[in-house]
C-alpha cells in the first residue's frame, strides 16, 4: 500500500511522559459520554491538559510525527471527496442512516437530510431542529426514528431541558414521517424508562419493532429507577405510527440485588462499568440474531420472537474492557466485533500509555449451533497511529464493507479519524487504509472527530462530531468488489444480508 503520508505509521512516544497511574485510573472510572439520563444537550466542555503534554503535542507537530491542527492526512488508497460543514444545527453530530439517494445525519439539535446522489457534492435537503441528545437516528420506509436521552420539559421539538428528578420530564423515542424529505413531519412520541440513548430497528412488513437501549438509573429519577436490567421494546405500526407504544421490557440480566444480574463493576471489577442496561444493540434479522454491548457485558441473543428476545451467551472482559459500547457481526454471523469506549469518547486513549488493548475492538468468534452458541475471544484491534494527548480517540461506530469471503470493516475513532481494517483472520486483524485530521486544539482536549463512519453503495460517509459531514472513497483491490453491492436502505445496527 502506498501511503500519502507515512509519518503517521511511525512509532511515537506521545503520552509516555504523562503521569501513567493517575491518568489511567481517571480513564477507567470516567463515565461514558451521555451516560446519565440527563446529560444535557451541549457537547462536553474542553478539558485542560498539562503543560508537558501541550509541549509534547507542539513538538510532535513540528517534528512531523502527527499532522498539524486540522491538517488532513490519509493513506494512498483513500480519497477525500467532499466535506459539508455544520449549518443550522450547531450541536454535536452523531449517527447516520441511509435510504436510496439520501443520508440522514443525527445531531444533538435535531437531524439533517442530505442528497448524496452525487457523493462529490452532497446537498442539504432539509434540517429539522428538535433538540434532545443524542438523537441517534434510523429510517425504515417512510418513518424516521430519533432517540432522546436527555430529560426534556415535554416531547415536543420546542422542549427545554428539565431535571430528571421531576416526574413530568420526558425522554424516549420520536417518530417522523419522511415521505417528503423536504418537509419531515413529527408524528409520534413514546416515553421509555431512562430515555433512549440508542435504538435498533427490527423491521417487519406491517410493524417496526424498536429496541431501546438506555442505562444509568437512579433512585431519585421517577422514570428511571433501578433495577434497569433490560431494554424497552416499542411496536410501531407502519400505517398508523401514532399508535406506537411500549410492548415489553425484557430482562436480559436476571439476578438478585438492586441492579439485577449484570456485571457489578467496581470494586468487584475495578475500572469496569456496572451493567445497568445496554448501550447499543445490533441485530442480524436474516439470522434472527442480535449482539448487545451492555456496559460491563457483551451478549449474544435470539430475536426470533422480536417481543421476547432470548439471551444465548454472555461474556465479560474485566481486564481490558471498561465500557462495552457497540457490536458488529460479520456476514457469516460467526464473528462479532465489540467496541470498548474507554473514557466515554471524551478522553485521549490512543497513545502509548494506554496501549493496544484498551479502548479497542474485541473480536469474538461465535462457535457452536443454536442456543448452544458461545462467544470466544480471539484478539483486539486498535488503530496503529498514536494520537495527541489533546485528541479524544477511542473505538466507535463502524460498519461492514461487503466483500464475499472477507471480513472488512470501516470505523470511526473520533479524533483518531476513519480506519478501514481486515478481521478475516480474527486472531490477526490489520488496518488497510485510514483518513485522519490533526487535532482540533493543541492545548486542551476538545471533543471532535468521526462519530460514525459507514460504507454505503460504494462510498464511506463520516459524521464528524465537531466539523461536519465527510465523503470518502477507497480504491483498493481488497474492497473494490463491494462496489457491486447496492442497498435501498441501511441502518448499520440492523445489519443487512448483503448477498442473499
Q: In what order do the strands lie in the sheet with 245-248?
A: 198-203, 207-213, 232-237, 245-248
Tens digit of pLDDT for each residue in 100-119? 999 999 999 999 999 999 99
The region of weakest confidence among 40-44, 177-181, 297-301, 356-360 is: 40-44
Query: In this model, does residue 12 exceed pLDDT 60?
Result: no
Q: Is the residue at 497 inside a domain? A: no
pTM metric for this prediction: 0.93
Nearest to 42 by CA among 90, 95, 87: 90
Q: What does the pLDDT read at residue 38?
A: 35
- The span from the CA of 397 to the CA of 413, in Å, is 8
Query: In this model, does residue 5 exceed pLDDT 70?
Result: no
Q: Is the residue at 496 inside a domain? A: no
Contacts of 110 (CB under 8 A, 6+ apart): 89, 91, 127, 128, 129, 130, 131, 135, 157
Tens digit of pLDDT for each residue in 356-402? 999 999 999 999 999 999 999 999 999 999 999 999 999 999 999 99
C-alpha cell at 257: 440485588
Tens digit of pLDDT for each residue in 457-498? 999 999 999 999 999 999 999 999 999 999 999 999 999 999
Q: Is the residue at 1 inside a domain? A: no
Neighbour-count burial of 344, counting CB atoms closer than 10 A to its CB (0-12 exposed, 13-18 middle, 19+ buried): buried
The region of weakest confidence among 39-43, 62-66, 128-132 is: 39-43
Q: Is the residue at 500 inside a domain? A: no
Given the DSSP bridges, would you call strands 374-381 and 397-401 parallel, antiparallel or unpaired?
A: unpaired
Tens digit of pLDDT for each residue in 435-445? 999 999 999 99
Domain CATH number, residue 422: 2.130.10.10
- The span from the CA of 408 to the CA of 425, in Å, is 10
The answer to whether 103 and 500 have CB atoms below 8 angstroms apart is no
Query: In this model, does residue 348 exceed pLDDT 80?
Result: yes
Q: Which of the four pLDDT bands, split at 50, 70 and 90, describes residue 45?
A: confident
Q: Which of the four pLDDT bands, split at 50, 70 and 90, describes residue 76?
A: very high
- The span from the CA of 266 to the CA of 269, in Å, is 5
Q: What is the mean pLDDT of the chain?
A: 91
Query: What's the longest Cα–Cα distance across the chain?
Result: 61
Query: In this model, does residue 340 exceed pLDDT 70?
Result: yes
Q: Is the residue at 495 inside a domain? A: no
Q: Is the residue at 313 inside a domain? A: yes
Q: Return the number of other C-beta atoms located less than 10 Å from residue 167's C-beta.
A: 8
Q: Which of the four pLDDT bands, split at 50, 70 and 90, describes residue 41?
A: low
Contacts of 45 (CB under 8 A, 6+ apart): none
Nearest to 412 by CA among 325, 333, 499, 289: 325
Q: Is the residue at 113 inside a domain? A: yes
How far from each other are the two terminal CA atoms of the chain, in whole angstroms?
A: 32
Q: What does the pLDDT read at residue 333?
A: 96
Tens digit of pLDDT for each residue in 312-329? 999 999 999 999 999 999
Q: Is the residue at 229 inside a domain? A: yes
Q: Return the number of other C-beta atoms located less than 10 Å from residue 274's C-beta.
A: 16
Domain count, the chain: 1
Q: What does the pLDDT read at residue 500?
A: 76
Q: What does the pLDDT read at residue 256?
A: 78
Given the DSSP bridges, would you call strands 430-437 and 418-422 parallel, antiparallel or unpaired?
A: antiparallel
Cell numbers 480513564 label which residue? 27
Name the residue range of residue 367's domain.
6-490
Amino acid at each position: 500500500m502506498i501511503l500519502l503520508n507515512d509519518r503517521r505509521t511511525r512509532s511515537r512516544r506521545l503520552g509516555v511522559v504523562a503521569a501513567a497511574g493517575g491518568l489511567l485510573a481517571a480513564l477507567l472510572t470516567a463515565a461514558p459520554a451521555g451516560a446519565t439520563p440527563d446529560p444535557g444537550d451541549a457537547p462536553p466542555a474542553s478539558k485542560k491538559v498539562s503543560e508537558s503534554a501541550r509541549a509534547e503535542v507542539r513538538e510532535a507537530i513540528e517534528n512531523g510525527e502527527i499532522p498539524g491542527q486540522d491538517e488532513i492526512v490519509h493513506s494512498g488508497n483513500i480519497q477525500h471527496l467532499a466535506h459539508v460543514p455544520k449549518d443550522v444545527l450547531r450541536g454535536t453530530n452523531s449517527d447516520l442512516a441511509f435510504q436510496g439517494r439520501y443520508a440522514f445525519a443525527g445531531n444533538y439539535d435535531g437531524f439533517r437530510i442530505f442528497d448524496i446522489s452525487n457523493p462529490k457534492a452532497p446537498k442539504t435537503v432539509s434540517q429539522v431542529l428538535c433538540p434532545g441528545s443524542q438523537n441517534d437516528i434510523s429510517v425504515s420506509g417512510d418513518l424516521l426514528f430519533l432517540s432522546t436521552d436527555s430529560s426534556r420539559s415535554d416531547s415536543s421539538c420546542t422542549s427545554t431541558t428539565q431535571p430528571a428528578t421531576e416526574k413530568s420530564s420526558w425522554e424516549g423515542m420520536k417518530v417522523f414521517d419522511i415521505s417528503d424529505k423536504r418537509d419531515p413531519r413529527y408524528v409520534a412520541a413514546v416515553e421509555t424508562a431512562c430515555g433512549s440513548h440508542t435504538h435498533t430497528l427490527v423491521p417487519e412488513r406491517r410493524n417496526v419493532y424498536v429496541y431501546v437501549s438506555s442505562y444509568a438509573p437512579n433512585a431519585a429519577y421517577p422514570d428511571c429507577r433501578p433495577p434497569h436490567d433490560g431494554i424497552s421494546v416499542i411496536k410501531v405500526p407502519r400505517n398508523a405510527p401514532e399508535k406506537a407504544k411500549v410492548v415489553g421490557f425484557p430482562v436480559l440480566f436476571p439476578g438478585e440485588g438492586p441492579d439485577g444480574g449484570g456485571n457489578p463493576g467496581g470494586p468487584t471489577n475495578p475500572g469496569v462499568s456496572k451493567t445497568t442496561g445496554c448501550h447499543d444493540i445490533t441485530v442480524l434479522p436474516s439470522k434472527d440474531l442480535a449482539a448487545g454491548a451492555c456496559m460491563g457485558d457483551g451478549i449474544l441473543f435470539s430475536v426470533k420472537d422480536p417481543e421476547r428476545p432470548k439471551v444465548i451467551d454472555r461474556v465479560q472482559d474485566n481486564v481490558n474492557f471498561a465500557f462495552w459500547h457497540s457490536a458488529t457481526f460479520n456476514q457469516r454471523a460467526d464473528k462479532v466485533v465489540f467496541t470498548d469506549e474507554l473514557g466515554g469518547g471524551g478522553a485521549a486513549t490512543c497513545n502509548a500509555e494506554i496501549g493496544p488493548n484498551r479502548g479497542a475492538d474485541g473480536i469474538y468468534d461465535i462457535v457452536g449451533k443454536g442456543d448452544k452458541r458461545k462467544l470466544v475471544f480471539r484478539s483486539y484491534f486498535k488503530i496503529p497511529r498514536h494520537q495527541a494527548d489533546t485528541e479524544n480517540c477511542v473505538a466507535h461506530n463502524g460498519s461492514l464493507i461487503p466483500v464475499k469471503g472477507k471480513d472488512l470493516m470501516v470505523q470511526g475513532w473520533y479524533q483518531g479519524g476513519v480506519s478501514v481494517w481486515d478481521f478475516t483472520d480474527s486472531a490477526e486483524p490489520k488496518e488497510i487504509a485510514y483518513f485522519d485530521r490533526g487535532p482540533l486544539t493543541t492545548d486542551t482536549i476538545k471533543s471532535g472527530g468521526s462519530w460514525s463512519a459507514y460504507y454505503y453503495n460504494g462510498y464511506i460517509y463520516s459524521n464528524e462530531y465537531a466539523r461536519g459531514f465527510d465523503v470518502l472513497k477507497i480504491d483498493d483491490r481488497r474492497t473494490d468488489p463491494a462496489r457491486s453491492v447496492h442497498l435501498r436502505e441501511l441502518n448499520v445496527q440492523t445489519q443487512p444480508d448483503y448477498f442473499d
